[in-house]
């Protein structure tokens, strides 16, 4: 933490984590107030994993995320305006209100989408990595998945293809200890996940997922390896979601001591104290927080003022070819 650049990077990461935390806290409250529809998975507690990993990416790189994708996508640069408008179901949302929380995407930033289907991002990640090699582009794909996704078939299929074809992909398992209500030990027969991942012929590292610097450094090593032709890596990032599985789930199955212990290891507090130890002043950190608070307030305000989609907007974006689209849609009687 000596150099100026490092400090600047860490400050940026801090800012990004603050942004996510505030965004998700607001989303939670707005959802509880009935302002946001659908269902929604909050990643508060996991910010260091999202931000540490995404900050290891460069321009042109790709990202696939999960149903719990607010943090991942904002960490990658998704604007909170378009994210918030999307959650609100507004026409200028990131996905024109067609995707919602589970499908936020920004192809311009290489965000190939959150995904409502557990494990479904992994094959897609293999694909953008394949394009990268095919087109000789040196881009890397970061593939987030939850601990629960571990046991889905595509995980195995994708990890096999990744080493087989030496693809530039980094698999980051966001291990928050539970798949919905089920703790890892109750669904995972595999005693040592790193050994399992290594058996695919890729380096596998465990990292403290609440330490943004550690995540960043670990994922950066993997990203650089991938970019220089070294192939895929696996990172197990241990973290925790503070809330239940989705908003509405009280998370009753988890021992209260466990929740308390993890909350005591708040990734934002950890990062903050590293920054303070490193000489950053309290005021500049508070400034970041209030700037982000303000930006969020503005995003919410903008979102509230924004227009709803027209009903007929539901009929567009099914196909690119407009003639075929009209024919495929058929008569609309509504």
Ligand X SMILES: Cc1ncc(C[n+]2csc(CCOP(=O)(O)OP(=O)(O)O)c2C)c(N)n1
Binding-site ranges for a second copy (CB under 8 A): 151-157, 159-165, 186-192, 195-196, 198-201
Question: Which are the contacts of 126, defined by CB distance < 8 A and separation ≥ 6?
Answer: 141, 158, 161, 162, 167, 169
Residue 131 or 182: which CB sits closer to ligand X?
A: 182
Work out whether 99 is an interface residue with other proteins (CB under 8 A). yes
Q: How far is the CB of 114 from other proteins (least distance, A)?
A: 9
Non-local (6+) Cβ contacts of 178 within 8 A are 147, 148, 184, 241, 245, 253, 254
- Residue 67 interacts with, from Mg ion, ligand X, a second copy, none (CB under 5-8 Å by kind): ligand X
Question: Is residue 118 a contact residue for other proteins (CB under 8 A)?
Answer: yes
List binders of ligand X among 3-42 (CB under 6 A). 41
Nearer to ligand X by Cβ, of 85 and 150: the residue is 150
Position 303 contacts ligand X (CB under 6 A): no
Chain positions 190 to 249 lying near other proteins, rule: CB under 8 A, are: 249
We find the least distance from the C-beta atom of residue 288 to a second copy, in angstroms, to be: 43
Task: Give the count of residues interacting with ligand X (CB under 6 A).
Answer: 16
CB nearer a second copy, residue 189 or residue 256? 189
Q: Comparing C-alpha atoms, which of 161, 119, 163, 126 is closest to residue 141?
A: 126
Site for other proteins in 174-193 (CB under 8 A): 179-182, 186-189
Contact call for residues 242 and 46 (beta carbons, < 8 A): no
148 touches ligand X (CB under 6 A): yes
> Rule CB under 5 A: is residue 65 a binding residue for Mg ion?
no
Query: CA nearest 75: which of 33, 20, 131?
Result: 20
Q: State the number of CA atoms in the 13 A half-sphere of 268 facing the CB.
A: 16
Contact call for residues 278 and 1 (beta carbons, < 8 A): yes
Query: 152 vs 316, which CB is nearer to a second copy?
Result: 152
C-alpha to C-alpha distance for 101 and 49, rounded to whole angstroms = 19
- List the interface residues with Mg ion, window 132-161 (CB under 5 A): 146-148
Which spans in the chain are helix H?
A: 4-32, 47-54, 70-75, 80-88, 121-134, 153-164, 184-187, 193-198, 212-227, 256-264, 267-277, 282-305, 322-329
283 scored as a contact of other proteins (CB under 8 A) = no
Nearer to Mg ion, 52 or 148 (CB): 148
Tokens matching residue 287: 């400034």
Instruction: Looking at 33-89, list the stretches that DSSP marks H as alpha helix, in order from N- to C-terminal side.
Output: 47-54, 70-75, 80-88
Instruction: By CB under 6 A, name the binding residues for ligand X.
Output: 41, 66-68, 116-118, 146-149, 176, 178-180, 245
């Amino acid at each position: 933490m000596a150099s100026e650049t490092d400090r600047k990077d860490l400050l940026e990461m801090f800012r990004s984590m603050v942004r996510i935390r505030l965004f998700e806290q607001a989303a939670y409250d707005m959802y509880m107030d009935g302002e946001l529809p659908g269902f929604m998975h909050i990643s508060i507690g996991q910010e260091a994993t999202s931000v540490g990993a995404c900050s290891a990416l460069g321009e042109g790189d790709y990202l696939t995320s999960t149903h719990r994708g607010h943090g991942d996508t904002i960490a990658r640069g998704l604007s909170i305006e378009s994210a918030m408008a999307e959650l609100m179901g507004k026409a200028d949302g990131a996905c024109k209100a067609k995707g919602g929380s589970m499908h936020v995407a920004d192809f311009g930033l290489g965000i190939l989408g959150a995904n409502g289907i557990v494990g479904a991002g992994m094959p897609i990640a293999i694909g953008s990595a394949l394009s990268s090699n095919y087109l000789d582009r040196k881009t890397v794909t970061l593939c987030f998945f939850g601990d629960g996704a571990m046991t889905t078939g595509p995980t195995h299929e994708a990890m096999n293809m990744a080493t087989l074809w030496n693809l530039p992909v980094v698999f980051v398992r966001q291990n928050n200890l539970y798949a919905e209500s089920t703790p890892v030990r109750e669904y995972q027969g595999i005693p040592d996940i790193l050994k399992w991942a290594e058996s695919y012929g890729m380096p596998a590292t465990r990292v403290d997922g609440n330490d943004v610097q550690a995540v960043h450094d670990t994922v950066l090593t993997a990203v650089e390896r991938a970019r220089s032709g070294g192939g895929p890596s696996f990172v197990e990032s241990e973290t925790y979601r503070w809330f239940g599985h989705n908003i509405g789930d009280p998370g009753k199955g988890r021992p209260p001591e466990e929740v308390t212990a993890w909350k005591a290891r708040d990734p934002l507090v950890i990062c903050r104290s590293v920054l303070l130890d490193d000489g950053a002043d309290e005021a500049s950190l508070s400034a970041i927080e209030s700037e982000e608070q303000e930006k969020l307030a503005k995003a919410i305000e903008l979102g509230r003022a924004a227009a709803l989609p027209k009903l007929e907007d539901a009929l567009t974006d099914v196909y690119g070819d407009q003639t075929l689209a009209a024919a495929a849609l058929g008569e609309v009687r509504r």
